[in-house]
Structure 1
Amino acid sequence: MPITQMKWIAAIVPAICIGLFEFARHEYLQVISMNWGNVLVAILTGIIFFLFSHGIFALMENLYGKLQQEKQETAVLQERSRIARNLHDSIAQSLFFMNVKIMDIEKACKNGQQPWSAITDLREAIRFTDTELRQHIFALQTVAADDNINLIAAMQNHLHQYEVQTGTKVNLAVTCATPNPFNSYERKQLFHIFQELLFNIRKHAAATQVNVSLNENSEAFTLTIADNGKGFVAADNLRKKNSFGYKLLEQDIKSIKADLKLTSSPGTGTTVTVTKNKKKELFS
């Protein structure tokens, strides 16, 4: 039932019922005293209110159930999209590279040349793909299946596994008053952004140390990730917003209305800061 119809029914039905009862009482039920008439009106009003509110709450429960179902379906689609883009960015490209190297090996063998250079490249590509695939599997396993993901605890666990897998030294500083700032969707998106940034460091930065800071105050939650890697010319990188990976990261940032700040220069590492303003009405 449309909301407009519900508003009209809520305004008109009780008035009509009480009006009809008063008319009948005055025209045909004179034996009922004023006091008893008032009591009957109160009872009638209560019955109408109970029946109407029961219907309204039943409708709201039905709508809430549909909303939760759509929310779960949307979350599944988002995860599928994320998996697809990760596979596109790394695994698919690695497989294409390996196929090229196999053709180089075949060509070298046919021409009586040494294929060792191509074999070395192929071995390195296989090792890289194995590491990438394990990283993707770990990232998928880390995401909580329920809506009550503990953001800080999940980040701490991910950093521990990241340090074990990559050998990179990780320093973590946490100054947060609450373990679960923001609603479930925002927490999951922040965690995905956190994973993506670490993944990019492992893939591109060649860093030996990563410093992560989680800071929360009355106005905002700030995630800062700094590495000592090779860095890049930040201005040039920001011009390349047509890259698939950057666009998807930017979409994740915008989906929770957060801000992204990137500072880098060749040889000095990179610092990325994600700031999410806090709104009390969005807290879970």
Structure 2
Amino acid sequence: MSLNNQRIKWLILIIPTLTIGLWEYVRHAFLLPYISMDLGNFLAPFIVLTVTLTLVRSLFIKLEHSHEALELEKSTSAALEERESLARELHDGISQSLFLLAVKLDQLDGLTEEGPVRQLSEGLRETVRVMNDDVRQAIANLRLPPSPEAAAWVVPLRELLGETAAVTEAKAQFTWTISDKSLTDKEKVELHACLREVLMNVRKHAKASHVYVIGESDDQGGFRCAVEDNGIGFTGNPLQSPGRFGLRMVKDRATRMGWSFSIERKGDRTVVEWIKQGGQAQ
């Protein structure tokens, strides 16, 4: 990438010089009988400006994109290094301490006869085992590349689904593959608000035993986001039902963002979804 940037920088420096040199050659070799010296001198800066606004400007844009990609790569690399460092600290600190505690509990078992102390020791050993499994899982997760579901702004969405499932005693499933960097800050805010309102509607009215939140991206920069539940559904147009202001607000938000919005019954599920077409700018 650095070699490509060097070429772009050299082209940005050379193109204006080559342009004025080529203009002077053509003017003296072919156009001198038709264009006076004063007119030629007058046209020269405009010709250089035209070339700069076309070729050189496009090179500047490529250089900016290259710098942005490089900064993103550096940021990702730094984040991965930080995650690896944290994983090492967990392994060398907490994980080793838990192992040592398990050894001490084994020694305590050898010195203790059956009774309350032995039972307490066995309970502590089980707690240590569970904690050790959790720490090992955390270390493994830290050493994996971050997934779309782990993005900071996505975590509250998963927690919101969990709260909805807890209140309604429903089973929840969260599937999210929309890349964090594919969304603008405004899109994240609007998606969060829409999902929150729809999940609140499920909590109040659906009486569902299963609730799903789905976020899927496409290859053109668009996405499909949906909340599905197997609740009691609706009759008529829910957007026209009295008291359903929340759904109308969600539809208005989606419309303002240029997303399509729909709510319909598909089989035994109520599906609320909004879609951004690929290539659609925000």
TM-score calculated relative to the size of structure 1: 0.40
TM-score calculated relative to the size of structure 2: 0.41
